[in-house]
Structure 1
């Protein structure tokens, strides 16, 4: 009798599912998710070819049962190839097949699709680190601890990491630039790379140094404002003690160039806003005017007395006046005989209730109440100071360029109608629109501002400058006439031509700077 035919040995199943040969032949859709790619590749490879049994077991290799022989015809002659259904790759000789089944790629595919219990050696380039990092167990544990992410999330993460790396490199190259005090240089700190300044950068910094207030002016302004704030606090305490109702004065805040750090040399006008509980009246303003002289006469708060017996100099004489045209209180410091400075501090009264009632379309204010427009302007000055401190004060080159532009508006009659708030908005948006975290140098910032003005942003048919501190669309340069807008645009176009021909010193009204001297070569011993 003929012995019974021995059944052909089948390869082990993938995760308990039918093996690849069964899936390809049966064409069933019950394969595991990890098998779909291998199944499709195997079925594609099996077309127009004759599959032979898989290769025999090889010492030191796994998954040899998934490597099959394929007989094809090439140029009329029979050819024998090997196809790995796990890795979806082909070989034309036995040596390549043996190297593949012993390699790390084949073992990784076998571990992922067939038997997850086998071990796979780490890459030769990955060195073992202290604490077990770099070993196979630690890599597997770290991989298991990290949640899976989609391709989009991985691309976004790589993009963020690249942006952070580029931003860090730019900060190392352009860091530690002066905020608002002259004398700084473009360059990093200790151990950081340094960027050479261009001629335009040196021109703008030199102009900024000339318009920056002196130390004596800053000290005098600080002393005057501190005395006014202290006197207003004492006046508020006096008014609160006279009535049992809520205090009529809520607080005092700095606005204008003083709050934004934009004071210029010789232009030391300061403004304070006195917040009231209700709509301020003329009777309340007159009472404050009567209380201020006595409170201002007291000695201002200063540092602790020194151990020396030197007498402290008397504070400058102050005069309190009522400005009916501006609806404000003016504190004037007279110039001393020894060459002191003459300063003025304007105090505006307002209340948040004015804006609430104005938004509700209420009736006209009473005769005793202050002008609504003046009160609303004081509230707008508060919002503008907060916006500037949050958005513009931290930008590179913003404060120095605004000082240079303000000096231009005071020096040239054509630029005089341009409001200071419009200048601040224009410079901030020209610098912040550089994009990509790019840091703008002073010379580049001046050029961008002139390009924006020369393009017609202020023209009647242009986009204008929208005030970010207002709810409704409001043009920050609404006070300018059409002819004034045309003149500023034409002047900016002429300035842009001069900058293009390296004549920025004519725009800034200063002599050209000499080229920096080359560093002396180190002498050999």
Structure 2
């Protein structure tokens, strides 16, 4: 069922969920077919053989262990974050002669805070909320102040500070603390593009704080963290999943594990497979209810930040990989064997040929048509 090309919006033109142009029909989002929610109405004809499921679980556990940062990596990033956090806390309490900016608070965010970091990506994110306006000069001065303070404590340590459009990075030879700078909400109206950090970047830093708080409150189930780590790896290895943001991965992992009739956490094998089934069925396509962002008052469906082309690409990639998984190719999907070519080249599994699917969506020749469709989707989000 999920392998067919006729999922939500998978036909020619990627149906938008409204009637014909010019008809003011109400937008009613659809819920794509989900075998987990529909299981009472569709009793399984045959279950997956126990040895196959056990082998799949063992592979998932092994892959998660390989992706989990080593003790050395973990110690390195924890030590750096502890040092940086200490300097920032001191600047909040006793800024002394430093007057380039005033700090309201500091929050740890991202995969480091959530406990979903992957090996080889030893980067921790911290959001620094300023009481003052975030001018580019003030942000760079803050970075230099932290660098100088750390060098005074450990002069022999190799430490670099690199400013960027979001704030700055502080790095030693083993880890990086990525500082995302924003300001208190009342200041956001006063932002001037030529003087301050871009307003969208300031808002995204606030969103990162909300996301981390939600994850801490709602997604501490260990299986969710393991699945998120595995999905990050899947996204990294298959280009078709590149449009998926870390926040989308957090939410779909939480949904796949906990949103079921029994309200009990599903095992890792079933939830991993369910993610591919959901994406294949059009969970992140136009017209789908998808997942409402819990940090935005439920008014925004998370997949609408992707373009129509990106939504199509995610869906067709999931459909191809699900077919591979259905014929026993879990080692190739997990990256234990083979490579990412199974998503873009023909492969054969016990005599069954799996051909990568082609795009169903064709971008209109008139770019204005595309813009109008995107604007219509945005209007529907607020209805």
Q: Distance in 2 between matches of 1:235 and 1:363?
A: 24
**Aligned counterpart in structure 2 of residue 330 of structure 1, from 169, 176, 179:** 169
Q: Distance in 2 between matches of 1:458 and 1:374?
A: 25
Q: Distance in 2 between matches of 1:403 and 1:289?
A: 30
Task: Please say if residues 383 and 469 of structure 1, whose CA atoms lie closer than 8 Å, have aligned partners that are also in contact.
Answer: yes
**TM-score, length of structure 1 as denominator length:** 0.51
1:281 aligns with 2:135: yes
Can you give the 5+ residue segments of structure 1 that lack an aligned partner in the other structure?
Answer: 1-195, 301-313, 336-340, 513-525
User: In the TM superposition, what whole-angstrom CA distance separates every residue of 1:254-293 from its partner, at most 9, and x where no partner exists?
Assistant: 1111111111111122211112224433343233133222
1:261 aligns with 2:102: no
Task: Classify 1:251/1:357 alpha carbon distance in 2 versus 1 (closer, same or farther; 3 Å).
Answer: closer
Q: Distance in 1 between matches of 2:273 and 2:71?
A: 30
1:316 aligns with 2:157: yes
Task: Please say if residues 200 and 442 of structure 1, whose CA atoms lie closer than 8 Å, have aligned partners that are also in contact.
Answer: no
Secondary structure of the equivalent of 1:263?
coil
Q: Distance in 1 between matches of 2:225 and 2:156?
A: 31
Task: Please say if residues 53 and 269 of structure 2, whose CA atoms lie closer than 8 Å, have aligned partners that are also in contact.
Answer: no
Q: Distance in 1 between matches of 2:115 and 2:277?
A: 26
Task: Classify 1:254/1:364 alpha carbon distance in 2 versus 1 (closer, same or farther; 3 Å).
Answer: closer
**Aligned counterpart in structure 2 of residue 249 of structure 1, from 103, 112, 126:** 103
Q: CA RMSD in A?
A: 2.6
Q: Distance in 2 between matches of 1:270 and 1:411?
A: 22
Secondary structure of the equivalent of 2:176?
strand
Question: Counterpart in 2 of 1:186?
Answer: none
Question: Counterpart in 1 of 2:72?
Answer: 216
**Aligned counterpart in structure 2 of residue 406 of structure 1, from 232, 241, 245:** 232
**Aligned counterpart in structure 1 of residue 256 of structure 2, from 405, 427, 430:** 430
Q: Distance in 2 between matches of 1:242 and 1:228?
A: 16
User: In the TM superposition, what whole-angstrom CA distance separates every residue of 1:111-142 from its partner, at most 9, and x where no partner exists?
Assistant: xxxxxxxxxxxxxxxxxxxxxxxxxxxxxxxx
Question: Counterpart in 2 of 1:14?
Answer: none
Secondary structure of the equivalent of 2:78?
helix
Deviation, structure 1 residue 423: 0.9
Runs of 4+ in structure 1 deviating by more than 6 angstroms, as ranges, are none
Question: Counterpart in 1 of 2:183?
Answer: 351
Secondary structure of the equivalent of 1:200?
helix
Q: Distance in 2 between matches of 1:221 and 1:315?
A: 18
Q: Mapping of 1:73-88 within 5 angstroms?
A: none
User: In the TM superposition, what whole-angstrom CA distance separates every residue of 1:224-283 from its partner, at most 9, and x where no partner exists?
Assistant: 11111112233344535667xxx9212211111111111111112221111222443334
Q: Distance in 1 between matches of 2:234 and 2:193?
A: 42
Deviation, structure 1 residue 385: 0.2
Q: Distance in 2 between matches of 1:294 and 1:322?
A: 15
Greater mean deviation of Cα atoms: 492-501 or 224-233: 492-501
Q: Distance in 2 between matches of 1:220 and 1:380?
A: 27
Q: Mapping of 1:11-410 within 5 angstroms?
A: 198-239=54-95, 248-299=102-153, 316-323=157-164, 326-333=165-172, 335=173, 341=174, 343-353=175-185, 356=186, 362=189, 365=192, 367-394=194-221, 396-410=222-236
Task: Classify 1:437/1:471 alpha carbon distance in 2 versus 1 (closer, same or farther; 3 Å).
Answer: closer
Task: Classify 1:432/1:479 alpha carbon distance in 2 versus 1 (closer, same or farther; 3 Å).
Answer: same
Q: Mapping of 1:466-485 within 5 angstroms?
A: 466-471=292-297, 473-485=299-311
Task: Classify 1:266/1:298 alpha carbon distance in 2 versus 1 (closer, same or farther; 3 Å).
Answer: same
Task: Please say if residues 140 and 167 of structure 2, whose CA atoms lie closer than 8 Å, have aligned partners that are also in contact.
Answer: no
Q: Distance in 2 between matches of 1:364 and 1:218?
A: 37
**TM-score, length of structure 2 as denominator length:** 0.68
Task: Please say if residues 274 and 350 of structure 1, whose CA atoms lie closer than 8 Å, have aligned partners that are also in contact.
Answer: yes
Higher RCO (C-alpha under 8 Å, 6+ residues apart): 2
Question: Counterpart in 2 of 1:444?
Answer: 270
Secondary structure of the equivalent of 2:204?
helix
Instruction: State the structure with more CA Rg.
Output: 1
Question: More helix by proportion, 1 or 2?
Answer: 2
Q: Distance in 1 between matches of 2:240 and 2:256?
A: 21
Alignment size in residue pairs: 286
Can you give the 5+ residue segments of structure 2 that lack an aligned partner in the other structure?
Answer: 1-51, 339-383
Secondary structure of the equivalent of 2:288?
coil
Task: Classify 1:418/1:275 alpha carbon distance in 2 versus 1 (closer, same or farther; 3 Å).
Answer: same
1:510 aligns with 2:366: no
Task: Classify 1:433/1:209 alpha carbon distance in 2 versus 1 (closer, same or farther; 3 Å).
Answer: same
